[in-house]
Amino acid sequence: MAIAKAERLMNLALCLLGTRRPLSKRELRESVEAYLEAGSDDSFNRMFERDKDDLRELGLVIETVESLDGEIGYLARRDSNRLPPITLDAEEAAALGLAAKVWQQARLAGAASGALQKLRAAGLPEDVDPYEAHSALEPRIPVHEAAFEPLMLACRDRRPVLFDYRKANAAQPEPRHVEPWALECWRGHWYLAGFDRDRGAERVFRLSRISGKVRARGSRFTAPVPDVVTVRETVASWAGESADRSALIRLRTGAGYPLRAKATGVRELGDGWDELEIPYGHGLDAWLVEFGPDVVVLEPAELRADVVDRLRAVAKG
């Protein structure tokens, strides 16, 4: 929903909830600034009727009242638009507490904290500490990338975006026109899944490789959004998680912890190097390139060639 329309609906809802008597169309037009700018009476009437229907669809109970002189008025009685009492058990309270803590590094932190306080005031059990049930957990989702917030809003609002993206084997970023579907964090990194318009296919992008600003486009989505977006599964396949073969690499001592965590075998070579056997699947070459001079591929030959080609492409750039 566009910001201007959302603000207009909010102002109309506040007028209808705040009045003690039915307000006519004329009074509502004088009370809501956006209606004053509507132009002709016909434009205002169409806008008002759409807004009224939208508010009702959102759940606001709006009454239509006819006065003695036949004038139609509108109001939304507070007692007809109250939420039911909030009741939470200990597990639900703990889940909400953890959710509020997760976003401490994002701009949503203030909103999450405020929401938790309101829930306490509205009926969150006073004798329940929302963090106590999971006191051993300290959830954190890193949100260091500047692209996170505009992409999150674009996913929510179903707005296409444009950004510059550098692939693992490229020296310079390229523009990407994407219809964003979902954001997901996997092993400390954020990824965006969406429809790449230029390539006409689903793609997954690592946010740390996005450079510059994310620009929103005003057009609509052209591809259907799937019911299930498999971000983690796609990224895992890049990293060799679905591998059915093994690769042998040399890794500098003290470097490449993620590779060591995946290794099925480790042997010390001396002189500051170790030999690791790791699962080998699609995308492993792109992942190994990220470790730069700390990794040397020994076998298989095709993996070594792929890594060398990627490194040469970066060096040429």
Distance CA 174, CA 165 (A): 5
The correct CATH number of 3-80 out of 1.10.10.10, 3.40.50.620, 1.10.150.120, 1.10.287.130 is 1.10.10.10
Residue 222 in 3-state DSSP?
coil
Q: Which option is the CATH number for 148-236: 1.10.3470, 2.60.40, 2.30.30, 2.40.50?
A: 2.30.30
Q: Which residues of 24-34 are buried (b: 16+ CB within 10 A; e: fewer)?
A: ebeebbebbeb
Percent helix, strand and coil across the chain, each to the nearest 5: 40, 25, 35
pLDDT of residue 298: 94
**Banded model confidence at residue 273, pLDDT cuts 50, 70, 90:** very high
Pairing mode of beta strands 161-165, 189-196: unpaired
Is the pLDDT higher at 281 or at 210? 210
Instruction: Give every CB contact of residue 99 below 8 A, 6+ residues apart in sequence.
Output: 112
Q: Taking phi first (over 0 means left), then psi (-120 to 50 degrees means alpha), and beta for anything else, what does residue 117 get?
A: alpha
Where does CATH 2.30.30 sit in the chain? 148-236
β-strands 265-270, 295-299: how paired?
unpaired
pLDDT score at 175: 93
Strand intervals (E) in 16-135: 23-24, 63-66, 72-75
Enumerate the CATH 1.10.10.10 domain ranges in the chain, comma separated: 3-80
What is the percentage of the chain residues whose pLDDT exceeds 70? 73
| Mean pLDDT calculated for residue range 170-176 | 83
- The pTM of this model reads 0.45
Whether pLDDT at 303 is above 60: yes
Kindly report whether the peptide bond that precedes residue 175 is cis, defined as omega within 30 degrees of 0. no
215 pLDDT band, cuts 50/70/90, is: very high
